[in-house]
Amino acid sequence: MAAEPALVPAADIAEVRAFNRFFTRRVGVLRPGLLDSPFSLTESRILYELAHRDSTEAVDLRRALDMDAGQLSRVLTRMESSGLLTRTASPDDGRRQVIAPTGEGTAAARTLDGRSTDQVRELIGHLSPADRERLVAALRSVRRLLAEPGAEPAGADPVLRPLRPGDLGWVVERNGALYAAEHGFDHTYEALVAGIAADYGRTHDPACEDAWIAEADGERAGAVFCVREDDTTARLRLLHVEPWARGRGIGGRLVGHCISYARSRGYTRMVLWTVSVLASARRIYKGAGFTLVEEDPAPRFGRELVGQTWELDLRRAPSSAGAAPLTGG
C-alpha cells in the first residue's frame, strides 16, 4: 500500500521535484519544438506510439498516453490537418476511431526517433561502461518504484544464471542489510553469511556444488546455494529474494532449480536450516516437499529465534517446483 502523502518527508518531495527540473532542462523538453522539430512533446509522443503500431483506436492511444479525451481529440485534429495521421471509423464499431500515421507522419516519427537516439548517445556517451551500467540499473529501479501500485511487473521473465565475480560480495551485503531491516538481525548474521560465502568461494567443488543468481529486469533479484553435506546429502543455503522482486515466483524457481541440480548430481537427500520467523521462505520449502524435522529455540542474531531443520527425500518424485532456465555465465 502506498504511503499517505502527509507521511512523505518534505525533503524527499523536494528531491523528486529537483530531479524533474534537472531532467526536463537537460533533455530540452520545455523548448518550443522537441528535438529541434516543429512538434510539441505531446505530438512527438503520439507519433512515437503510432509508428510502433500499424493502427490503433483512439481509446487505446488515450490509455497509453494517459491523456484527457478532449485534449487528445484536439491534438489529433491538429495533426490530421497537418497531414501526419488519418482518422477513420472502426469497422467493428462506427463510434470508435482508428488512428493511423500517414507517410509524412511515419517519416517524422523516424526523424524524431533518430534525433532522440543521438541525443541520448551524446548525453551518456562520456560515461564509462561501469557508470552506464549504474545509470541503467538506477533507471530500471525508478521505473519499478514509480509504477502504478498493483501493476504487473514489467520486463522479461526472471532467469537464473551461475555466479559471476562480485556476486558473493553482493549476497553477503544483501543478506545482512535485508534481514536487519526486515527481522532485526544484528551483525552476527552478516558475519555468518560472509563465512559461508567465503568458504564456498575458496573450497567449493564444481562437480557437486553450485550457486545461482536470479535476475529480473536486468538486476540481481535473489540467490541460492547448493553445497555438499556428505556423499548422499546436499544442503540448500542462503536463499533470498529482493523485496521488489517478490511475488514473481523467484523463490520457488531458485529452490526448484537447486533441488533439480542436487538430483542430477546423485544426492538422495537435501537439508536446510532456517528460522521460524521467515514465513515466506518456509512456505516455499514446504511447497517444494521439504519436511520440518527439528526445532531449536535459542538466542541468535540478536534475537530469540526458533531454528528449524528441514529435509527432503530426493528419491521421491519431483514436486511442482520447476527449474528455471539458465542464461550465460
Q: Which residue has the cell 551524446?
A: 122
Sheet holding 233-241, edge to edge: 159-162, 210-216, 219-228, 233-241, 269-275, 303-313, 291-300
Average pLDDT over the chain, rounded to whole? 89
Q: What is the pTM of this model?
A: 0.67
- Residue 319 CA, chain-centre distance (Å), reads 26
- pLDDT value for 81: 94
CATH number of 5-126: 1.10.10.10
Three cell numbers written together for 150: 498493483
Confidence band for 328, pLDDT divided at 50, 70 and 90: very low
Superfamily of domain 159-313 in the CATH hierarchy: Gcn5-related N-acetyltransferase (GNAT) (3.40.630.30)
**Regarding predicted confidence, which is higher, 167 or 141?**
167
Whether 308 has a pLDDT exceeding 60, the answer reads: yes
- pLDDT value for 323: 47
The DSSP annotation for 23-84 comes to: HHHHHTTTSSSGGGSS--HHHHHHHHHHHTSS-EEHHHHHHHHT--HHHHHHHHHHHHHTTS
Give the closest residue to 220 by CA, choosing from 278, 150, 171, 290. Answer: 171
Whether 148 has a pLDDT exceeding 80, the answer reads: no
Confidence band for 154, pLDDT divided at 50, 70 and 90: low
* pLDDT tens per residue, range 156-166: 578 999 999 99
**What share of the chain in percent tops pLDDT 70?**
92
- pLDDT value for 319: 58
- pLDDT value for 86: 92
Give the closest residue to 111 by CA, choosing from 22, 39, 192. Answer: 39
Confidence band for 153, pLDDT divided at 50, 70 and 90: low
Tell me if residue 214 falls in helix, strand or coil: strand
pLDDT, mean of residues 296-315: 96
Whether 177 has a pLDDT exceeding 90, the answer reads: yes
- pLDDT value for 109: 93
Beta bridge partners of 120: none
Q: Any idea where the domains of the chain sit in the sequence?
A: 5-126, 159-313
Confidence band for 197, pLDDT divided at 50, 70 and 90: very high
Rama region for 166: left / alpha / beta (φ>0; ψ in -120 to 50; rest) = left
- pLDDT value for 26: 87
Three cell numbers written together for 173: 551485503
Whether 237 has a pLDDT exceeding 90, the answer reads: yes
- pLDDT value for 141: 80
- pLDDT value for 155: 57
Q: Is there a contact between 278 and 291 (Cβ–Cβ < 8 Å)? A: no
- Residue 222 CA, chain-centre distance (Å), reads 10
Angle between helices 187-203 and 167-183 (to 10 degrees): 160
Q: Is there a contact between 306 and 275 (Cβ–Cβ < 8 Å)? A: yes
* pLDDT tens per residue, range 2-36: 555 568 888 988 999 999 899 888 888 888 888 88
Beta bridge partners of 307: 275, 296
Confidence band for 248, pLDDT divided at 50, 70 and 90: confident
**AA letter at 130:** A
Maximum average pLDDT range among 108-112, 232-236, 316-320: 232-236
Distance CA 285, CA 106 (A): 53
- Residue 242 phi/psi, 5-degree rounding, is -60, 145
The DSSP annotation for 111-144 comes to: HHHHHHHHHHHHHHTTS-HHHHHHHHHHHHHHHH
- Residue 273 CA, chain-centre distance (Å), reads 28
Rama region for 165: left / alpha / beta (φ>0; ψ in -120 to 50; rest) = beta
